[in-house]
Amino acid sequence: MISNSKNSLSRRISTMAVAVSVIALAEFLLLNLMFGVESSLNDRFVQSQAAKLVPDQDIVIIDIDEYSLFGIARKEGYGRYPWPRELHGQILTNILKQKPKAIIYDILFSDQDNEAESNSETKTDSDDAFANIIRQTNNVYFPILRLPAENDSLSELELSKFGSALGFTATENADPTARIALQLPGIAAAIDTGRLGNVEYIEEADGIGRRYLLYTEAYGWRIPSLPTRLARDLGYPISNKKSMLLHWRGGKHAFQRVAFYDLYDDFFNRQSPLRANDEFRDKIVIIGATAPALGDQRSTPIDSLYPGVEILATAISNLKNNRTMREPHPAIPDIFPATISNAIAKGIFPSIITLAIIFSLLYAFNHIRNSFKIFTGYLIFSAIVLLISYLAIGALIVIPIFRPLLFGWLYYTLAALYEYLDEKRTRERSMQMFSRFVDPRVVNDLVSEGEEGLNKYFNAQRIQCTVLFSDIRGFTTMSQHREPEEIVNLLNQYFSRQTDVIFHHGGTMDKFIGDAIMAFWGAPIADPNHAQHAVDAALDMVEALQLFKISLGGELGDSFDIGIGIHSGEAVVGMIGSETKLDYTCIGDTVNTASRLEGQTKGRARILVSDATKALCNDNITFVDHGAVSVKGRDESVKIFEPQRTV
C-alpha cells in the first residue's frame, strides 16, 4: 500500500517536472515574459559592481549642463540653446590646440541655432566659421541617426552613391538600388569628413538600454556606430557581433566632466586661464548634453534618467579597453534568420540550467523524501548561485540564472504541495486503519513517523511479542436460547469493555473470532515489557468481566464467564490478506500456543500463561503453578501458570 502510494507520488511529481520544464522552455525560447524580472535583478548587481569602479580617465565629457545653459544664455548673451555654431567652432579651436586624441560630438546640429531664426546671413557666417574649422581637422567625429525603415523609400540618399563616402561598408549582399533615411549633421563639412557614426539608442523588452550597436545592417550595407567608427580609426579591436553588452563603471555623472560654460569662461573671459593648457592632451573628448531640459536622458541599469552622452562615453570606453560584458550564448548555425538565432542562442543556456535544476529537485524528491531538507538545500543552493552571479558580473560575465531559479522554486512548490497532500492522505488512511487495531491515542505517534516509518509496519517482520486469546465459555449453548439481536448486543457490550482494557495496556487488537478475542503486544509500537503488559491486561479484563456480570444480573450474569491464554515468543506481524482486503495481524507458533492455552483454562483458572511469559514478568505478579500440559502442534509440553496480583 505504501509502496503503491510512493510510486504514484513519483509518477505525479515526474509529470510536474516535465510540465514545468515545457513551460520554462517556452519562456526562454519563445515568450520571454519574465525577461524584465531577471534583468532587474542583474541590473541591481551591475549597479553594485559599477559603484566600485572608476571610469576611464582618458575620456572627458564637455558637458552642456543646466549651469552652462544659464551661463551662456544670460552671462554671455548667446540666448537660449541651440547656440550659434560659431560658438562651437571657437570652443573646438581651443580644444584642438591641446592635441586631444579625438573629439566626438554627441550633437546632431540638425536644429537651427537661435541667431539663424532671425538672421539667415548671420546663420551662414556662423556655419561657415564652424565648417572651416572642421575641414582643418582629422580627428573630429559626428553622429548620424538611422530613421525608421518605412521612411527609406522617401529618401534621396542612395547607398551606392554615398555609402562609402559616409564611412559605410558594403557587403557581398549590398543592394545597388537601396535608399536609406538618415538624419545627418546639419553642417555639410561634418558630412564631408566621413567620420560619422550611428547613435541610435536601443532598448530591450523592458524599456532599459543595456546594449550598444556596433553597426546597423541595412540593405547589405553596414553602418558603423559612432564608437565603432572611432575605434576603427584608433585601432581598437572590434567584435563581429552586431551589438555589445555594456560594461558600466561608476554611477551617473561618474565620467570626468568639464562644464561647457567653465571652458568658455576660461578660454575667453580670463587673461590668465585657471585651467591647464594641456588638459585634453591625448584625451578622448566628448561634447554633449546632460541637462534634463534638452531631453537626452535614457533608462539604463545605472539610472532611469542616464545622460545619452554618458552612454556614448561608456561604449567608447568599452571598445578602447576591450572590456564588454559577456553572456554564455552558444553559436547557432546560420540556417535560421538572425532574430530567431538570437532568441535561440539566448535561450539555450538558461534552458539547460533550468532542466538541470528541475530534474535535480525531482531526484531529491524521489530519494530524500523530505520537503524541508530539500527546501533548505535548494535555498542554500539559490543563495550560492546568486552570489556567483553577482561575482561573475564583476568578472564581466552575465549569467542568466534568476529565471532558472524561479522555475526551480515553482517546481519545488508544486512538488512539495503535492507531497504534503499525498502524505496527508496517507496519514488519514493509516490512522483509519491502525485505529482498528491500537488505541487511537497512540495512532498519532505511530503515524507521525511518516511514510518511510510506516513501511516497517506494513511490511512483514519477525518480532518478540506476547499473544492473548480470550474466549467466552459456553457461548454456543448461551446463543441457542436467545434471540440473535440479544446475542449481538451482548457481544458488543462485552467486546467494547475488553477492548478498552487491551488498549489501556498498549495492546494491539488483532481480531474478533466469533465470541473470541485475539490481541498481542510488541507491535506495531515496540514494547520491551510486552509480557508484563499482556498479563496486566488479562487481570484487568477479569475485573472488567466481574463488573459486566453484575450489570447483566440474574442467571445470565451468574453463568457468563471467560478463559484467557497468554504466550510469549517469536511471531511474524504485518499487513496480511488479499489485494482488496488487508489486516494487520500476527501469525506463527506463538499465536497457536496462546490459543491452545486458552483452551486449557476450563476447570483450572480464568487466566493461564506459559513459562515463557512468566519469565518476562516482574515481581508485582505472583504465579500459581498448574503443572505442564501437552499442546497440539508442539513436541514439548508447556508449563502453565495462573497469574495473581500481589496484595
Taking the whole predicted model, whether its pTM rises above 0.75 is answered as no
Output the pLDDT for position 333: 47
Look at residue 210 and tell me if it is in a domain: yes
What would the mean pLDDT of 541-557 be, rounded to a whole number?
Answer: 90
**What residues have CB less than 8 Å from 532, skipping those under 6 apart?**
616, 617, 618, 621
Judge if the upstream peptide bond of residue 82 is cis by omega within 30 degrees of 0: yes
Do 129 and 196 reside in the same domain of the chain?
yes
Look at residue 431 and tell me if it is in a domain: no
What span, in angstroms and rounded, lies between the C-alpha atoms of 58 and 54? 11
Res. 340: pLDDT tops 80: no
Do 255 and 394 reside in the same domain of the chain?
no
Helices and strands (H, E) in the chain, number of each type: 21, 22
Do 420 and 444 reside in the same domain of the chain?
no
Instruction: Single out the residue in 396, 426, 456 at which a domain terminates.
Output: 426
Residues 161-211: tens digit of each pLDDT: 999 999 999 999 999 999 999 999 989 999 999 999 999 888 988 899 999
| Sequence-ordered alpha helix ranges (H) in 462-514 | 475-480, 484-504
Look at residue 432 and tell me if it is in a domain: no
Output the pLDDT for position 639: 95
Do 190 and 280 reside in the same domain of the chain?
yes
Res. 220: pLDDT tops 70: yes
Confidence of residue 343 (pLDDT cuts 50, 70, 90): low
Poorest-pLDDT segment among 151-155, 246-250, 551-555: 551-555
What would the mean pLDDT of 361-385 be, rounded to a whole number?
Answer: 92
**What residues have CB less than 8 Å from 402, skipping those under 6 apart?**
37, 38, 41, 42, 386, 389
Output the pLDDT for position 1: 47
Instruction: Single out the residue in 268, 290, 321 at which a domain terminates.
Output: 321
Output the pLDDT for position 332: 43
User: Which residue did the predictor score with more confidence, 103 or 113?
Assistant: 103
Res. 16: pLDDT tops 60: yes
Confidence of residue 636 (pLDDT cuts 50, 70, 90): confident
Do 169 and 235 reside in the same domain of the chain?
yes
Cα dist from 89 to 63, 85, 102, 105, 378, whole Å: 16, 6, 15, 12, 63
What would the mean pLDDT of 51-72 be, rounded to a whole number?
Answer: 95
Do 353 and 242 reside in the same domain of the chain?
no
Do 24 and 40 reside in the same domain of the chain?
no
Do 381 and 455 reside in the same domain of the chain?
no
Do 462 and 384 reside in the same domain of the chain?
no
Q: Give me the number of domains the chain comprises.
A: 3
Output the pLDDT for position 459: 73
Instruction: Single out the residue in 426, 453, 472 at which a domain terminates.
Output: 426
Output the pLDDT for position 345: 62
Do 209 and 166 reside in the same domain of the chain?
yes
Output the pLDDT for position 370: 86
Res. 439: pLDDT tops 90: no
Confidence of residue 75 (pLDDT cuts 50, 70, 90): confident
Residues 110-158: tens digit of each pLDDT: 876 655 444 545 556 778 889 999 999 999 999 999 999 999 989 999 9
Residues 389-416: tens digit of each pLDDT: 999 999 999 998 999 999 999 999 999 9
Average pLDDT, the chain: 88
What span, in angstroms and rounded, lies between the C-alpha atoms of 187 and 109? 7
Cα dist from 310 to 185, 228, 248, 256, 288, whole Å: 20, 16, 10, 10, 9
Look at residue 66 and tell me if it is in a domain: yes
What span, in angstroms and rounded, lies between the C-alpha atoms of 421 and 411? 15
Do 524 and 414 reside in the same domain of the chain?
no
Output the pLDDT for position 211: 94
Res. 444: pLDDT tops 80: no
What would the mean pLDDT of 427-449 be, rounded to a whole number?
Answer: 59
Output the pLDDT for position 9: 74
Output the pLDDT for position 336: 45
What span, in angstroms and rounded, lies between the C-alpha atoms of 554 and 132? 136
- Domain of residue 584 covers 438-645
Of these ranges, 77-91, 308-322, 514-528, 568-582, the one predicted with the greatest mean pLDDT is: 308-322
Concatenate the DSSP letters of all residues of 201-223 into one string. ----TTS---EEESEEEETTEEE
Judge if the upstream peptide bond of residue 176 is cis by omega within 30 degrees of 0: no
